[in-house]
A and B are shown apart, each in its own frame.
Chain A
Amino acid sequence: MYRIRFHGRGGQGMKTASRLLGTALFKSGLEVQDAPKYGAERRGAPMLAFVRADRRPIHERGTVVSPDLVLVADETLFQVPVAGVMAGVKASTVLAIASQKPENVWRDRLKIDSPIYVLPQSEAADDEIPDVSALIAGAAARLTGLVSQEVLRQAVEEEIAPYGPKAVAFNLRAAGEGFGAMAAGEGSVGESLDQGADSYDKPDWIDLDLDLAATAAPNVYAAANSVLVRTGLWRTLRPVLDPENCGKCVWVCGSSCPDGVIGVDANGYPDIDYQHCKGCMICVVQCPRHAFAAIPEQDAAEAAQAAQMAQMEGTAS
């Protein structure tokens, strides 16, 4: 059985990617299962989807825990433990990452021997979470070596048809792009062996003890614990202030923020708590002076890192 997992953020189209690949594999004569996995999160939050494909009927269910192929639509997810991108990744697992960085950088960062393919990202419109479903699905199709470009085209047409001809055209192009980019890795994904009934990892079952109700009721006693939920991880665009344009009317942007994460700094400028700003861009729209710019999160993170380094060097010298 082929087990494939897609990681992305809500809005990036990972569910669609899994359906595109699922349909393409099905049309190629395989038995298929595809599904998204949702939590209570919203747009921008880490999510995953998966596809199983086999020559025989598929009886396995639930999340793919031991993947043969992992596709990552947003490289920032590697830093998000709850996203579980590397969960169950073994030496034979193929990784495909949408990134501007080359393969050797990733190999160095992840410190694994698995085959890594980098999927160059096309320019994203910067006012929304880019939908990369077809790009990723095209790449996955090529890596499995089980789907022809023609069948991939049919799958895209079938799945995207309800969204109109413009969407179909866009996705056909993107799927072709993804398929083309993975030529070097064609067919590199293999089927992993199933656990044998005589040589399995014994489940570490326990006999659960009775806990008193104060412990065993679904209660949270910690005060103000919502700060522990780093909703900043959901952000794909970051509001960044240009102090030059700011009129210090923080009651305007501050009261428009649905998460209440805009404070006031010592100089009277808005001060955003980026740990919890989820990047809704309401402040960007509300500011009468257009003092906030919406910067793609990855660029912003790198710029912030560079600034920090510069500052550290500055203090060192």
Chain B
Amino acid sequence: MTRTLLTGNAAAAWGARLARIDYLPAFPITPQTEIIETVSRWIADDEMRCRMVMLESEHSMLTAAGAAASTGVRTFTATSSQGLLYGMEMLYTIAGWRVPLVLINVSRGLSAPITLEPDHNDILAARDSGCLQFHCATCQEVVDAILIAYRVAEQPQVRLPVIVNLDGFSLSFTREPVSLPDDETAARFLPAFRHDAGEFRGGRPASKAVAVIGGGAYSYFRYETHLAAMAAIDAYGEATRDFEQLFGRRYPSIECYRNDDAEISFVMIGSFATKAKEAVDRLRDAGHKVGLVRPFMLRPLPEADLRAALDGKAGIAVIDQNLAPGRGGILHGEVTSVLYGLKTRPAALLSYIGGLGGRDIGVEEFFQIAADVRAAIASGATPAPRLLYTQSELTDMRKMQAVAHVEAAGEELAS
């Protein structure tokens, strides 16, 4: 195991390499393209044995990925943002095909307005697709998540695609130290994909993904997909136990940081959660009992673990790096429903939206959030969800609008 500096994209490429992928259908999109470029270079240099095919869109790319996986070859692909949405139809479809593969999503805010930097609205748009979701917070997690993802996806009880999410820029282009598993141990953890009766093979014709008419048949397949996704909770537990034994790194489905004795918990997913860790440390230094709860596995949602992490807390702040217009934070809704019915559920459950399009969340903002939660606990009144935004950001925005002559257009409309 060597420790080396890698970007999140390079880590993803290494994950694919260590997983000994057979097939890589691809289509470029920023900030994901580097992953494909890296793997293609390895293939060209004979460092990897893999068939790579450029497709004409993400829709075709996911179709090819699903079709390849249904033949029993280990399939890997990657996309981001608009690309994920362009392939969305096939995301639901390949989950219904019940094929194991790993898709990397490099999170990036969605159009319009179009942007390049990260938030989680792209990956959360795929939340209900039937694909499982792992959310990475570091480049190390990216490599490890890919190996774990194949183990879970290929489990006979599961057989579903897994999306491994890493944030654009803050992980994709950011180098940090990564311990790379060696080939041999990686192969011990993740043996060759074992074909089974369900696989499609030449010489044995079968119709995959047939149409059904009638709610009874349709419901059966949808319910089974749900049961398989739920079965991934156990499969994940088993895979991560083996992983810890071989590599010494623990991957609980819900990471809890200084949370055991915490009175207040931050809940976040993705790489910005490490900022919350930093804030937790400093809040602790100042004498505040604050912790962090970070779902690594979001689908299936490990409800029991999440409950255990949050039950009995005095207050919680869910910080969503996404926005469902007309509702608010997506994670906030999920956390709320998990806590409902608990007798000792936290009295204060606050919602914050931040980090959209890569907007920073400053450490002072975490401090203020903690102060808000303390005030809510004291007063018993939950404040309205807050959209994190500062006066100076608005001032800058107004300047841009002035350059764009937005005011003039507004006056014209008003007159």
Contacts and interface: CB of A to CB of B under 8 A. Distances in A.
- Tell me if A's interface is mostly helix, strand, loop or mixed: loop
B157 A212 contact: yes
Nearest to A210: B227
A208 interface: yes
Contacts of A40: 211, 213
Nearest to B218: A218
Given A39-B213, A217-B98, A219-B209, A210 B228 contact: yes
Contacts of B157: 210, 212
Given A217-B96, A217-B221, 20 more contacts: A208-B220, A208-B223, A208-B224, A210-B227, A212-B157, A212-B196, A212-B198, A213-B158, A213-B228, A215-B198, A216-B98, A216-B220, A216-B221, A217-B159, A218-B212, A218-B221, A219-B198, A219-B207, A221-B204, A221-B206
Interface of B: 96-98, 156-159, 196-198, 204-213, 220-221, 223-225, 227-228, 231
A218 B198 contact: no
A123 interface: no
Contact of B97 (A210, A217, A220, A223): A217
A211 interface: yes
A217 B231 CA distance: 15
A220 B224 contact: no
B98 A213 contact: yes
Interface in A64-106: none
Given A210-B157, A213-B98, A213-B159, A219 B228 contact: no
Interface residues of A, number: 17
B407 to A, nearest CB: 52
Contacts of A219: 198, 206-210
A316 interface: no
Residue among A39, A211, A219, A220 having the largest count of chain B Cβ atoms under 10 Å: A219
B210 A214 contact: no
B197 to A, nearest CB: 4
Contacts of A218: 96-97, 208-210, 212, 221
B116 to A, nearest CB: 37
Contacts of B224: 208, 210-211, 216
B130 to A, nearest CB: 12
Contacts of A212: 156-157, 159, 196, 198
Contact of A217 (B208, B211, B223, B227): B208
A223 B198 CA distance: 15
A307 B221 CA distance: 47
A199 to B, nearest CB: 26
Interface in A15-53: 39-40
B223 to A, nearest CB: 5
B221 to A, nearest CB: 5
Contacts of B225: 216
Contacts of A216: 98, 220-221, 224-225, 228
